[in-house]
Structures are given as C-alpha cells and as structure tokens.
Amino acid sequence: MEVVLIIIFCFILPMCMLIKPAYKSIKNKENVKDFFKSSKIEIILVFILILGSFARLYGIGNMPNALNVDEASSGFDAFSLMKYGIDRNGNQFPVVLYAWGSGQSVLYSLITIPFIILGGLTEFTMRAPMAIIGIVSLYVMYYLLKNIFNDKKIALLGTFIFAICPWHIMKSRWGMECNLFPDLVLIAVLLLILGLKEKKKIWQVLSFVILGISAYSYATSYLFLPVFVCTTLVYLIIKKEISIKRAILYLGIVFIISIPLIVYLAVNSFGLEQFSILGITIPKLAANRYEEISTIFSGNIGNIFVNAVDNLLATVRIFILQYDELDWNALNGYGLVYLISLPFFVIGIRETLKKYNKNIFNQIMNIWMISSIVLAAFCKININHINIIVIPYVYYIVLGIYAVINKYELLLPWIISAYALSFIFFGYKYKNQDFNEYFTFTSGIEEVAEYCKNSDAENIYCAYSFKEPFIYFMFYEEYDTNEYLQTVEYFKENGIFDNVKSFGKYNFYLPKDVKEKSIIILPTGSETNYNYKSKITINQFDIYEF
C-alpha cells in the first residue's frame, strides 16, 4: 500500500503539472529545448513537489519511530466506528469522540476509515491521510499564491518554502487530528479566491462547505471560524465582491453544517443530557475539550484581559523563537520555518500592508492572520493549539523573501542555498529523533501485544510506565469494542480523565499476588521480587511469565 501511494503522490501527481505545458508545446510544434525553456517554472515545480511529497509520505509508518497516544486513540476509534458503528465509549457515530473523557475531534478518524479498511489498523494507515492532505496542500499553496498575485515566480518560491517547511513536514507525518485544520482552511481559501476571481459561485459555495466541515477537525475552530467567516464576508460585501444576500447564504452554509457541534457545545456547557438523533450521538463529556484549550471558556472572566495579554505575549515568543519546548511540534534550532526566516517575516508584513494593501485576495490572508491572533488571545498557547496561524506566518515569510530577491537579485542563490542547507540538516535531525523519549509517544508495544495475544495467559499485568498503556493494546490488537465495554474498569469511576484499570484479561497495575498463567510487563531493567517461571525481553520491555 505504501509503495502504491508513493508512486501516485510522489511521482504521478507531480508529473501531472507538466501535462498542460507539454500539450501546449506539442500544439506549437516546439522542440525539446524550446519546451524546457518555455516550461522552466513548471519543471522546477515538479521537482519541488516530488521533494515535498517524499518528505511527507516516505517511511511514515516508522518515522516518527513511536506512536503518539492521541494517534492511538483516534486510530482505534476509527477502527471501532468502521467495524461496530460506535466509538470506544459506545457512542454511535458521535459528532465528537468521547476519547479520554475530554473529547477528541472526529473528522480525522472518519477520513482514516478507508485506509484501515484497505490496510488494517497500523501506524501507516493512521498517518497516511494526514500525509496525503499535506501533499495536496503543496499544490494548493502554489495555486493560491499564483492567483493572489498573478505571478508564477512567487508561487514557485512559496511552494518551495512550504515544501521544506519543518512544521508542515512534521505535522504531515503523524495522525494528530488537530493538524488537519490548517490544511482544510487553506483549501477553502483557495476555492474562495478562485470563485471570486473567476466569478464561479459554485467554488465559493464549496469553500464555505469546507470551512463548515473544518469545524469538526479541531476545537480551536469554534473560536477561529466565526471571526474569520464573518470578517471575510463583511469585507467582501464592502468591496462589492458579493451581495448581502449571498453573504447570508454562505454564513448559513457554515451554520447549518455546524449545527450538531453547536448542539454539542450547548449540551456540555449547560449540563444537558447526552442524546442521539438520526443515528448520530451528541455526547456529554466528563470534561469539555474546548475548555482545555481555550481560556475564554475557562470561567476566569475576571482575568480575561490578563490572560489575553499573556497569551499574545506567548504567541509573539513563538513567532520569534518558533519553538514551544515540545519537540514533536517543532525541533529546537529549526523551528516552524527555520530561524533565518524571522527578518523575512517582518519584511513580509510590511509588504502586505503597503505594496499589496489594495489586493483583495491578499487582504483575505490578512484576515486569516488577524482571526488567528484573536484566537491566540484566548487560547492556551502551544503550536498545536494555534496551528492555524502558521500558514499565514509562512505566507508573510514568502512575501518577505520575494521582496528581498526582487530588490537584490544576486541574493537569490544564497537565500535558496541557505534554506536548502537548513532543510538537509533538519531532515537529518528529524530522521534520527527518538520520539520514544517523550512521555506521550511510545514504541515497541506492537510486538508485546502480539506476544500477549498469542499466549495462553489468563491475566496480563502491565505497569503504567508509559502514557495510557491500555489504548496501545487496543490499537495493536484491534480489540473488540463490545467486549471492552462489557469488561472495562477504571481507577476512578466518573473521573474527569478516563484512566483504565483493566479490561478483558489486561490489567494496568501490578498485583500483590500473581496467579498461574499470568504475565507481567515491566520496563527493561526494572527490579522485581516476583518468583517467575521465565522471562523474555521484547524491545524496551521485560515480560515475566508465571
């Protein structure tokens, strides 16, 4: 499956960019030399797309080399929805996954289902949809810049910077549901600009359909989308690009698609009971996910101004350092778009406010940035939570680089070389990064789960030495959700966070007395006083049999 996807997305799809130039060349009876001369930008673009596609798709099953706990959660719920029509909490097709009790956005799990059908539940099938969406975004970025500025050169430059962007590469290589949100908004903005530019209302409609759907990708959309959609529509009305009637239609599209989420927010904000309608569940969570990530919902109304200032200062810090001390979001020393980009970002802001201030499509990107800043003011800051801000951040960097090389053309090869060299060093560090060092990532469980599944042990005990071990066993065994629901026990019933104590033959604590036909799983090198029959080591775990 991986080889097929690589052939399609890393070779065939990029080569499609040459179809139109090749057809034009044949029609004009150009020779090969003339074709290369007239299609230079498209040929360079193909190589950039191949590079960017490989960087996002190749080896995603084992790089990152450990599975994130939220990936395992989202992946198992996708499997459960596919096979049983319920998430692991027993909710039938919920608008938000119950997950740990605090919720998890459902959209990424839904788009993962076809991959699980084809390839089973694995790291690769869990990550492949995000990688493919990341690849598609490269094409979207090219056409977005091309249509904003009517300039293939800035589009080519922007695609190159985006293709080697550390943040976008890293977020495209693991199945974290929140990372779907920025790419969906990017696609929607391109469709909106195309629809406005070519006066095609169907593309405008599709743009707002995608914006509505994006609400199901991450909880920060609950703040971002109202600001972005309303501000954009008001701006377009003022510029006479759309009528008030059409703006109301577009707002209505987003509202109608978001109704299940609006009801979900009401249920969880006002303590209402969970219910199902038309086979869809509006879940009642133990804790509200949107309260976890946003200070505006946290109830600290008296401190809302102080919180907003602190959040904005933290956002500025991320703009400058491009780092939030979480190495799975950005590697220290490389940042979101490499540390050499900060001067270009500042220049790009100047360009967008002066040189391009009358460009309507450029102003939509400015509205995107402003809406992201509004979100950041009320958000607990890390790169994941404010990931929607990174694409306009990249956009300004591209404008800054373009302004510099237009003024000082001799700097072009030096700037490109600096970014290319940074990309090579980043790729080396990322490839050798051991994600198993981070508590939220764990590797080595697949073989352990396989061993336990094939053993005749009646009781399996696993120490809570890594985050939420139960979900990894469920993930790798493709465990029966109905059996899980019948047997699951928690350390604390009705707790805010679901820490599973046991299900089936699996127990996530160490017993005082061990019965025969039992297995105990401990981190390698752990001291134990148990009188065991045999011991084997699998990856970083010692397995004791009794």
Q: Report helix, strand or coil for 443.
A: coil
Q: What is the pLDDT along the chain (546 residues), one digit of tens a residue?
A: 889 999 999 999 999 999 988 888 888 887 878 788 888 999 999 999 999 999 999 999 999 999 999 999 999 999 999 999 999 999 999 999 998 888 899 999 999 999 999 999 999 999 999 999 999 999 999 999 999 999 999 999 999 999 999 999 999 999 999 999 999 999 999 999 999 999 999 999 999 999 999 999 999 999 999 999 999 999 999 999 999 999 999 999 999 999 999 999 999 888 889 999 988 999 998 877 555 555 555 555 557 788 888 889 999 999 999 998 888 899 999 999 999 999 999 999 999 999 999 999 999 999 999 999 999 998 888 899 999 999 999 999 999 999 999 999 999 999 999 999 999 999 999 999 999 888 889 998 999 999 988 888 889 999 888 889 999 999 999 999 999 999 999 887 765 566 889 999 999 988 888 888 889 999 988 878 888 788 888 888 999 888
The secondary structure of residue 353, as a DSSP letter, is: H
The vertex-145 CA angle with 142 and 147, nearest 5°, equals: 105
- Considering Cα of 69, then 376, then 145, then 411, what sign does the dihedral take? negative
H or E element in which residue 67 lies: strand 67-68
- Sign of the Cα pseudo-torsion (525, 526, 529, 533, in order): negative
Q: Token pair of 134, please?
A: 């990341």
Here the tokens at position 370 are 């402003």
pLDDT score recorded for residue 33: 81
- Determine if the peptide bond prior to 129 is cis (ω within 30°): no
Contact predicate 57/8, CB 8 Å: no
Tokens 């904000």 belong to residue: 269
Q: How far is CA 443 from CA 61, 62, 174, 207, in A?
A: 12, 10, 14, 39
DSSP letter at 273 equals P
- The residue type of 179 is N
- Whole-angstrom distance, CA of residue 338 vs CA of residue 46: 23
3-state secondary structure of 492: coil
How many CB atoms lie under 10 A from the CB of residue 199? 9
Q: Which two tokens stand for residue 546?
A: 């009794």
Which contacts of 78-82 are long-range, i.e. CB under 8 A and separated by 24 or more positions? 78/108, 78/109, 78/110, 78/112, 78/113, 78/116, 78/121, 78/126, 79/116, 79/121, 79/475, 79/478, 80/481, 81/109, 81/110, 81/113, 82/113, 82/116, 82/117
Query: From the CB of residue 136, how many other CB atoms can be counted at a distance below 10 Å?
Result: 17
β 441-442/280-282 pair status: unpaired
Provide the residue type at 225 as one letter.
L
Residue for token pair 């990372």: 179
What is residue 177's DSSP assignment?
G
Instruction: Report d(CA 197, CA 146) in Å as an integer.
Output: 12
pTM (2 d.p.): 0.94
Kindly state the helix (H) or strand (E) to which residue 96 belongs, with its residue range: strand 96-97
- Closest by CA to 466, choosing from 430, 489, 435, 495, is 435
Question: What's phi and psi for 159, nearest 5 deg?
Answer: -65, -40
8 A C-beta contact, residue 383 and residue 165: no
Per the document, the length of the chain is 546
Query: By the 8 A CB rule, do 150 and 119 touch?
Result: no
* DSSP-assigned letters across all residues of 283-348: PPPSS-HHHHHBGGGSS-GGGHHHHHHHHHHHHHHHHHH---S-TTTS-TTTTTT-GGGHHHHHHH
In the numeric block, which tokens belong to residue 412? 């072009």
The maximal CA–CA distance of the chain, rounded, in angstroms, is 84
* 427 within 8 A of 55, measured Cβ to Cβ: yes
SS3 535: strand
Give Cα separations from 388 to 183, 220, 328, 395 (angstroms).
Answer: 9, 9, 17, 12
CA distance 132 to 129: 5
* CA distance linking residue 236 with residue 247, whole number of Å: 8
